[in-house]
């Protein structure tokens, strides 16, 4: 039988800002355009994978973000006990994706070679490139490498049947997206390959990046890997919670991404 997965977006944080902060070159119609923060759960027949680990309360106050609900509590709402998670995929090592260091004591961490090299090397001498990283996150990950808890990937890697990571870089040099087969086809969890639908649909990159060219190529890669434009999931867009159904009645900020989205017409060039 072909293995498919249930997919969940679990919101844990929020940050109010305006549109000009979300596009290179700003935005002529500047108005409120907040960011939501998510982790994602990929639930198979026998194995559960979690994409990214979020940040905790201490990091939220340090970075002046709002922690709406601790990541572990959100996961428990959908029946995932962090202790039981064996595989944690890290899209990249920015502070909002790799905190909560002790939350998954039994997990292996899946990371791109290039991301580890990037955030421990000469690029961190540049303030512009260093800003989204936290030293404590990076040193913790070095510790996990030494503890034998990291599985490195180089480019494209199938980490389980029908669950494949693809390095796209751009936003961070070793950023990877996750392509996963669901009951509605191939979904691409883009993480920060696109913060918002508008970033990839309008080909307007988010201003935190390492390579404009690779961000733009990453948009095309996501279109190529997803079954349709509606199968691409941006990493920080509050609209995700509008388009997808609640995973549990009464909890509006944990949604099922393997369900068909409603209220949204697919836009953008598909191929």
Between residues 141 and 181, which has the closer beta carbon with respect to Zn ion? Answer: 141
Are 112 and 151 in contact by the 8 Å Cβ rule? The answer is no
| Residue 11 found at the interface with Zn ion (CB under 5 A) | no
What's the min distance (Å) between Cβ of 249 and Zn ion? 29
88 versus 192: smaller Cβ distance to Zn ion: 192
Instruction: State the nearest-atom distance from the C-beta of 214 to Zn ion, in Å.
Output: 13
* Beta carbons of 182 and 170 less than 8 angstroms apart: no
Neighbours of 57 (CB within 10 A): 9
Name which position in 11, 65, 94, 231 contacts Zn ion (CB under 5 A).
94
List the beta strands (DSSP E) in the chain: 6-15, 35-43, 48-51, 66-67, 87-89, 108-112, 150-153, 156-160, 163-167, 176-182, 185-191, 232-234, 246-248, 251-256
Question: How many of the chain's residues bind Zn ion (CB under 5 A)?
Answer: 3
Q: Report whether 115 contacts 137 (CB < 8 A).
A: no
Distances in Å between the alpha carbon of 142 and those of 3, 110, 122, 138?
33, 13, 16, 6
Q: Which of 6, 36, 96, 230: binder of Zn ion (CB under 5 A)?
A: 96
With 0-12 CB in 10 A as exposed, 13-18 as middle and 19+ as buried, what is 66?
middle
Closer Cβ to Zn ion, 181 or 257, answer by number: 257
Query: Does residue number 36 form part of the binding site for Zn ion (CB under 5 A)?
Result: no
Mark 115-134 with x for binding to Zn ion (rule: CB under 5 A) and - for no binding: --------------------
3-state class (DSSP) for residue 61: helix
Residue (192 or 210) nearer to Zn ion, CB: 192
Q: Tell me which stretch binds Zn ion (CB under 5 A): 99-107, 152-160, 188-196, 261-269.
A: 188-196
Contacts of Zn ion in 189-218 (CB under 5 A)? 192
- 35 vs 225 by CB, closer to Zn ion: 35
Q: Are 18 and 30 in contact (CB under 8 A)?
A: yes
Q: How far is the CB of 156 from Zn ion (least distance, A)?
A: 20
Give phi and psi for 146, each to the nearest 5.
-65, -25
Residue 208 or residue 257: which is nearer to Zn ion going by CB? Answer: 208
Candidates 41-49, 95-103, 146-154, 176-184: pick the segment binding Zn ion (CB under 5 A): 95-103
Name the one range near Zn ion by CB under 5 A: 93-101, 144-152, 252-260, 262-270.
93-101
Cα distances (Å, whole numbers) of residue 178 to 54, 89, 145, 231: 16, 9, 22, 12
Q: Does 258 interact with Zn ion (rule: CB under 5 A)? A: no
**Rule CB under 5 A: which residues touch Zn ion?**
94, 96, 192
């Amino acid at each position: 039988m072909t293995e498919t997965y249930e997919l969940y977006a679990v919101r844990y944080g929020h940050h109010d800002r305006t549109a000009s902060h979300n596009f290179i070159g700003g935005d002529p119609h500047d108005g409120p355009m907040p960011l939501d923060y998510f982790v994602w759960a990929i639930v198979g027949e026998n194995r559960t994978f979690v994409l990214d680990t979020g940040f905790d309360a201490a990091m939220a106050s340090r970075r002046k973000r709002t922690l709406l609900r601790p990541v572990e509590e959100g996961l428990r709402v959908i029946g995932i006990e962090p202790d039981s998670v064996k595989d944690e995929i890290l899209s990249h090592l920015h502070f909002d994706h790799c905190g909560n260091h002790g939350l998954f004591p039994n997990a292996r961490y899946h990371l791109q070679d290039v991301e580890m090299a990037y955030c421990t090397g000469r690029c961190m001498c540049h303030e512009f490139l260093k800003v989204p990283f936290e030293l404590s996150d990076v040193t913790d990950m070095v510790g996990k490498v030494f503890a034998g808890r990291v599985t490195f990937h180089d480019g494209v890697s199938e980490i389980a049947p029908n669950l494949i990571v693809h390095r796209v870089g751009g936003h961070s040099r070793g950023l990877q997206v996750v392509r996963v087969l669901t009951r509605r086809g191939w979904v691409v969890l883009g993480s920060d390959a696109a913060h918002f639908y508008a970033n990839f649909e309008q080909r307007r990159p988010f201003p935190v990046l390492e390579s404009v060219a690779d961000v733009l190529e990453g948009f095309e890669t996501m279109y190529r890997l997803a079954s349709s434009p509606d199968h691409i999931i941006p990493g920080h867009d509050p609209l995700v919670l509008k388009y997808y159904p609640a995973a549990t009645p009464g909890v509006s900020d944990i949604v099922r991404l393997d369900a068909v989205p409603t209220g949204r017409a697919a836009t953008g060039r598909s191929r």
